């Protein structure tokens, strides 16, 4: 067994799956939105979205033509027995999937705008590696569309302003963003840490299943209140008015400097695509989502 070959196959499968099969929790949330939407335009849009999700799944088509920036999250158990060159493996997998799935070649040099042709190069795919307890390897893939990513922001708040200013800023960002991030969105929020850590927490929050509240009761309440207030703005599906602006809000936090209060907001479109796999030391694996 060559672990890097296994991981290559896993990565190609995760990419293909993520861009064609929307996770069940996201589809369920969209269906609940459709069942309770009040705007006629909103209903028409949600109906098209649900039909699209079904068509993509059943016919093996792409859910969205923007197959995103390729982002991988690796959680490597401290007792996982293999050393793996993740960059080498994931780069090859993205290149392969770009051809086979196919993915739209999205990645360009940031200044010359020259397209690399296969979604790799200049630091792509994006890879976040962290350590976990235990003997397993968990890999998640998130194709991140630009429409929603472009609405993301970082705010270094004044600590004394606290939770109220967090809510005020998130709400005003949602209204400014309007239809651009393809609502109903999922909103990932990172509170605390440092500027870089806050942004990463906001992105990682988007990996969490929809509908489940944070275990911390203070954050759970913040998530609920934000979701409620965002859905009172009336921005609605695709920004054309309606009840459903946001499917869920996910908050992560970390301790921060006594003089700081970082707030990071990462928007995710309704096509909240992700897929994960858990790989055993012997190379067997299971796709755990969707």
Partner 1 sequence: MEFKLKTPVKEVSKLKAGDVVYLTGLVATMRDRATRKLIELAKGGLKPPMDLAGIPVFHCGPVVRRIESTWVVEAMGPTTSARMEPLLEDFLKFSGVKLIIGKGGFSEASTRLFKTHEAVYCALPGGVSAILSKAVKRVCSVYWLELGLPEAVWILEVDRLGPMVVAIDCHGVNIYSEVRREALRKLRGCR
- Contact set with partner 1 (CB under 8 A): 41, 44-45, 48-49, 51-53, 55-56, 59, 61-67, 102-106, 108, 113, 115, 145-147, 150, 168, 171-172, 175, 178-180, 182, 229, 232-241, 269-271
Least Cβ distance, residue 250 to partner 1 (angstroms): 20
Report, in Å, the least distance between residue 283 CB and partner 1: 32
Residue closer to partner 1, measured from CB, 180 or 220: 180
* Beta-carbon contacts of residue 80 (< 8 Å; ≥ 6 apart): 135, 136, 137, 281
Residue 88 to residues 126, 137, 154, 177, 282, Cα–Cα distance (Å): 12, 17, 31, 36, 21
Which bin fits 61, alpha (ψ -120 to 50), beta or left (φ > 0)? beta
By beta-carbon proximity to partner 1, the closer residue of 112 and 258 is: 112
How many Å apart are CA 72 and CA 77, to the nearest integer? 16
**Nearest distance from C-beta of residue 104 to partner 1, angstroms:** 4
77/179 with CB nearer partner 1: 179
**Nearest of 151, 150, 99 to residue 120 by alpha carbon:** 99
Q: Which one, 7 or 263, has the nearer CB to partner 1?
A: 263
86 touches 129 (CB < 8 A): yes
Other C-beta atoms within 10 Å of 228: how many? 11
Cβ of 15: how many Cβ atoms within 10 Å?
Answer: 28
Return the structure tokens found at 104: 């739209």
User: What is the Rg, in whole angstroms, of the alpha carbon atoms belonging to the chain?
Assistant: 19
Nearest approach in angstroms of CB 84 to partner 1 is 30
Task: Report, in Å, the least distance between residue 40 CB and partner 1.
Answer: 8
Torsion sign, CA atoms 290, 278, 68, 29: positive
**How far apart are CB 216 and partner 1 at their closest, in Å?**
25
User: Rounded to whole angstroms, how far apart are CA atoms 285 and 265?
Assistant: 33
Residue 181 Cβ vs partner 1, minimum distance, rounded to whole Å: 8
Q: Where does residue 77 rank: exposed (0-12), middle (13-18), buried (19+ CB within 10 A)? A: middle
């Amino acid at each position: 067994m060559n672990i890097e070959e296994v991981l290559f196959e896993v990565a190609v499968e995760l990419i293909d799956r993520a861009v064609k099969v929307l996770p069940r929790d996201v589809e369920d949330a969209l269906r609940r939105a459709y069942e309770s939407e009040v705007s006629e335009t909103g209903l028409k849009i949600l109906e098209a979205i649900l039909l699209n999700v079904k068509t993509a799944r059943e016919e093996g088509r792409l859910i969205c033509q923007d197959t995103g920036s390729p982002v991988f999250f690796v959680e490597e158990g401290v007792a996982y027995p293999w050393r793996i060159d993740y960059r080498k493996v994931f780069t090859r997998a993205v290149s392969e999937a770009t051809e086979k799935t196919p993915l739209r070649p999205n990645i360009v040099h940031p200044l010359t705008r020259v397209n690399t042709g296969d979604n790799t190069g200049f630091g792509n795919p994006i890879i976040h590696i962290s350590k976990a307890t235990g003997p397993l390897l968990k890999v998640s893939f998130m194709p991140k569309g630009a429409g929603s990513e472009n609405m993301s922001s970082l705010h270094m708040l004044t600590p004394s302003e606290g939770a109220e200013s967090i809510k005020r800023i998130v709400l005003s960002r949602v209204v400014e963003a309007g239809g651009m991030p393809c609502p109903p969105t999922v909103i990932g929020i990172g509170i605390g840490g440092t500027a870089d850590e806050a942004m990463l927490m906001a992105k990682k929050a988007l990996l969490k299943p929809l509908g489940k509240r944070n275990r911390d009761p203070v954050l759970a309440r913040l998530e609920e209140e934000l979701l409620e207030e965002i859905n009172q703005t009336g921005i609605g599906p695709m920004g054309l008015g309606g009840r459903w602006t946001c499917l869920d809000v996910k908050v992560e936090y970390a301790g921060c400097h006594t003089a700081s209060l970082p707030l990071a907001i990462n928007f995710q479109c309704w096509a909240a695509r992700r897929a994960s796999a858990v790989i055993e030391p012997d190379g067997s694996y299971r796709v755990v989502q969707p």
